[in-house]
Amino acid sequence: MSRTKGGTVTHARHKKVVKAAKGYYGRRKNTFKVARQAVDKANQYATRDRKTRKRNFRALWIQRINAAVRMHDEALTYSRFINGLTLAGIEVDRKVLADLAVNEPDAFGAIVKSAQDALAA
């Protein structure tokens, strides 16, 4: 039986890595050895930042909710508002609350009012 060389498989693997490095600067985009390092590092960053993105969005939602709550009542803080929602039995997550605060201020105002009533009671 004749010997099989791995050129086709190696070329395909190299092509896949170089394609993933498209748009990189200098030799990172066309030299396999350097491109592989750059793509591996980029994948490490992507994996790490998928978790970071969740943290960043939660922080953004909290800032938006806090700003909207203070527009409705200067004395009411974010933490007291969340406590009021819990006491009122309203289970709405922060993503939806932030969306309501930006797009539906009247509905958000009603939620703030019910949270205030629960805190006062």
Q: Which amino acid is at 5?
A: K
pLDDT in tens, 18-39: 999 999 999 999 999 999 999 9
Here the CATH number for the domain that contains residue 86 is 1.10.1900.20
What's the total number of domains in the chain? Answer: 1
Say if 89 falls within a structural domain.
Answer: yes
Full residue range of the structural domain in which residue 53 is found: 13-120
* pLDDT per residue as tens digits for the range 58-115: 999 999 999 999 999 888 999 999 999 999 999 999 999 999 999 999 999 999 999 9
- Answer yes or no: is 5 within a domain: no
DSSP string, 38-107: HHHHHHHHHHHHHHHHHHHHHHHHHHHHHHHHHHH-TT--HHHHHHHHHHHT----HHHHHHHHHH-HHH
In a domain, 1, yes or no: no
Residue 27 within a domain: yes
- Is residue 52 assigned to a domain? yes
6 within domain boundaries? no
Residue 108 lies in a domain: yes
